[in-house]
């Protein structure tokens, strides 16, 4: 008697079963409201923690004997807040907390363009809530504290006389384009492979810290138009008049990074 060599094939899904599997897969993704809420929370945390440190702790106390955290402390505050935010809610929304990141990921093909407007609105809402909370705290501080913070620009970004180091518009635009491109490139790299999932929040946070260490003296560091707009609305007419630079430059940097990543990944997929 010969042994049977027949194998049993798994039955194919019926159309109804296929639709059911797709629906189950779609149901595994957090809802739109959850993703927007996560982006708003993360951007709130970024602005509240980073800008708050710049406002309250960078040169505290202001009596000539300051023992505040300085540039290093502010840089760490921005890095730590994004690290915490990505770890906390990155699994819900992707942990962008920055319109430039969302735009860069869209250029790279990681997210659909139709998702970008909702993300950007959520990020702006979260950032403005963060700066508004800081303004409310300052309003109940020592006499004249809020007015003094606003006169100093409310930790806004700027060029010329509004730059911490007096750097001109050209230098500010260049550093913001370059560093935003670097930031988005790092994010695309560490979020593109499952092997890096555990360390992604740390790498992203430390990259943002390094970016601040480089550019606080130049532009007070934006690389994030939600952060810039949120601070500028309390920073007075100069901050509002210059905020356009910190909208344009990060978006240009994000586009460069996203398109470069897309081109490189497509080239890598082409057989030799």
Domain spans in the chain, listed from the N-terminal domain onward: 34-266
- Could you tell me if residue 159 is left (phi over 0), alpha (psi between -120 and 50 degrees) or otherwise beta? beta
Of the given ranges (122-131, 192-201, 262-271), which has the lowest mean pLDDT? 262-271
Query: Which of 245, 240, 35, 252 has its CA nearest to residue 131?
Result: 240
In the predicted structure, residue 162 carries a pLDDT above the cut 50: yes
Residue reference for tokens 């952060």:
227
* C-alpha distance from residue 216 to each of 7, 47, 165, 175, 255 (Å): 67, 15, 9, 10, 23
In the prediction, which pLDDT does 194 show? 87
Q: What percentage of the chain has pLDDT greater than the value 70? A: 86
pLDDT tens string 93-130 = 999 999 999 999 999 999 999 999 999 999 999 999 99
In the prediction, which pLDDT does 18 show? 47
In the prediction, which pLDDT does 186 show? 98
Of the given ranges (5-19, 125-139, 149-163), which has the lowest mean pLDDT? 5-19
Rounded CA-CA distance 243/168 in Å is 14
Name the average pLDDT for the chain: 90
Mean pLDDT of 123-148: 96
Q: What percentage of the chain has pLDDT greater than the value 90? A: 79
Give the pTM: 0.87
Question: What confidence category does residue 24 fall into, taking pLDDT thresholds of 50, 70 and 90?
Answer: very low
In the prediction, which pLDDT does 163 show? 98
Mean pLDDT of 44-66: 85
In the prediction, which pLDDT does 63 show? 61
In the prediction, which pLDDT does 67 show? 66
CATH of 34-266, one of 1.20.59.10, 3.40.50.300, 1.20.1080.10, 1.10.10.10: 1.20.1080.10
């Amino acid at each position: 008697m010969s042994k049977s060599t027949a194998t049993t094939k798994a039955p194919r899904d019926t159309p109804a079963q296929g639709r059911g599997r797709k629906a189950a897969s779609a149901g595994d993704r957090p809802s739109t409201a959850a993703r927007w809420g996560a982006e708003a929370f993360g951007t709130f945390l970024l602005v509240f923690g980073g800008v708050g440190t710049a406002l309250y702790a960078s040169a505290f106390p202001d009596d000539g004997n300051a023992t505040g955290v300085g540039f290093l402390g502010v840089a760490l505050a921005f890095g730590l807040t994004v690290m915490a935010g990505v770890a906390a809610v990155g699994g819900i929304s992707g942990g962008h907390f920055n319109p430039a990141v969302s735009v860069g990921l869209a250029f790279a093909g990681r997210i659909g363009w139709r998702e970008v407007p909702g993300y950007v609105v959520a990020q702006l809402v979260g950032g403005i809530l963060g700066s508004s909370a800081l303004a409310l705290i300052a309003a109940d501080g020592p006499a004249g504290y809020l007015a003094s913070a606003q006169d100093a620009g409310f930790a806004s970004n700027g060029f010329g006389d509004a730059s911490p180091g007096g750097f001109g518009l050209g230098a500010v635009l260049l550093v913001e384009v370059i560093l935003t491109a670097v930031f988005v490139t790092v994010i695309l790299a560490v979020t593109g492979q499952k092997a890096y999932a555990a360390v992604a929040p740390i790498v992203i946070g430390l990259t943002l810290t390094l970016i601040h260490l480089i550019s606080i003296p130049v532009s007070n560091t934006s690389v994030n138009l939600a952060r810039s707009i949120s601070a500028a609305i309390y920073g007075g007419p100069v901050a509002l008049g210059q905020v356009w630079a910190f909208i344009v430059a990060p978006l240009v940097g994000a586009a460069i990074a996203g398109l470069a990543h897309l081109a490189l990944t497509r080239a890598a997929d082409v057989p030799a």
